[in-house]
């Protein structure tokens, strides 16, 4: 029996499903991506679903096509992320899509609905739009709940309150955990937080005035001769990102306090690297290596005691 495939239904179903798959990837990997960008990636996936209209592909070609399509979807959604984050997003999206396809195959095998077609790794089924919306939202809710129970979701979307203490003074700012960051001081292997110069200015002007002269050490190192703190606590931290490679001047604070919700982490063995410009978007002032969450003393305090 031949099944009539309506292109509008095919595109709508796959647009909706891909959008929620991308939402799941964003939630698991804690990526900062707009919903509009996810919608663009979902549209790429919906366009790829038209392959169901092609002759049946061999298993090898079908897998290769799905890999290429997944790469296009992920790149369209997360292209501003670092290479490591892109690769993790690709693997995560492909695995989630594979699980979804397996779920659809199980429905086809056990229920054998008359209006479902699986061809070239693309699933087509006629379903009322309202039911599709409810099922997708319910599936996303279940995934989000499991993510919370597994401890995968960071408080406040990965944001935290960061307090830097040096020479009896301290400054506080908004920090963000960067799951793609592995930045460490190369000799001690202590984790490094990268903070923008403006938020540290009041702290540095008294203790480390050299950092205010040229915090971007890619061309010339700052002059630390007049630093109030001992010079052995100053390091040059090599880094690499999409814009290239370089080094950032960094200092060892007396302590670093990180607050997420009612959890406070105090870390002493670490470095604070100084970045010249504020971070794009203005939503945070510092990027933290996730290694900070496994170091230091962990405390839970009431609201009146929070740092």
Candidate list 178, 202, 241, 269, residue with the active-site label: 178
pTM for this prediction? 0.50
**Mean pLDDT, residues 256-283:** 85
Active site residue 178: yes
Strands ordered across the beta sheet of 234-241: 234-241, 244-251, 271-275, 192-196, 286-288, 169-177, 159-166, 255-260, 263-267, 297-300
Nearest Cα residue to 257 out of 242, 239, 270: 270
**Mean pLDDT, residues 11-35:** 81
Are residues 229 and 166 in contact, defined by beta-carbon separation less than 8 angstroms? yes
DSSP tag of 151:
T
Are residues 189 and 207 in contact, defined by beta-carbon separation less than 8 angstroms? no
**Mean pLDDT, residues 164-184:** 85
> Is pLDDT above 50 for 228?
no
How high is the mean pLDDT of the chain? 76
pLDDT tens per residue, range 51-104: 888 888 888 888 898 889 989 999 999 887 767 778 888 998 888 887 776 766
Are residues 249 and 222 in contact, defined by beta-carbon separation less than 8 angstroms? yes
């Amino acid at each position: 029996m031949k099944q009539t495939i309506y292109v509008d239904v095919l595109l709508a179903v796959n647009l909706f499903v891909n959008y929620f798959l991308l939402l799941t990837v964003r939630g698991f990997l804690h990526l900062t991506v707009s919903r509009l960008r996810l919608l663009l990636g979902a549209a790429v996936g919906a366009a790829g679903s038209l392959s169901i209209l092609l002759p049946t592909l061999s298993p090898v070609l079908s897998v290769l096509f799905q890999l290429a399509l997944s790469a296009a979807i992920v790149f369209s959604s997360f292209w501003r992320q670092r290479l490591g984050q892109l690769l993790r997003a690709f693997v995560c999206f492909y695995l989630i899509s594979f699980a979804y396809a397996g779920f659809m195959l199980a429905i086809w095998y056990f229920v054998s609905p008359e209006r479902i077609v699986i061809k070239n790794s693309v699933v087509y089924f006629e379903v009322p739009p309202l039911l599709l919306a409810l099922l997708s939202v319910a599936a996303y809710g279940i995934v989000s709940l499991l993510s919370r129970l597994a401890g995968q979701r960071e408080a406040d979307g990965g944001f935290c309150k960061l307090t830097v203490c040096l020479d009896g003074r301290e400054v506080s700012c908004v920090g963000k955990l960067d799951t793609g960051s592995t930045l460490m001081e190369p000799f001690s292997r202590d984790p490094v937080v990268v903070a923008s110069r403006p938020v540290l200015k009041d702290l540095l002007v008294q203790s480390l005035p050299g950092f205010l002269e040229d915090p971007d050490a890619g061309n010339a190192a700052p002059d630390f001769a007049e630093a109030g703190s001992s010079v052995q606590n100053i390091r040059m931290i090599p880094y690499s990102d999409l814009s290239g490679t370089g080094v950032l001047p960094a200092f060892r604070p007396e302590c670093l306090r990180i607050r997420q919700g009612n959890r406070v982490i105090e870390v002493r063995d670490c470095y604070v690297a100084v970045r010249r410009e504020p971070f794009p978007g203005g939503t945070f002032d510092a990027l933290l290596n996730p290694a900070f969450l496994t170091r230091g003393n962990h405390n839970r305090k009431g609201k009146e005691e929070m740092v």
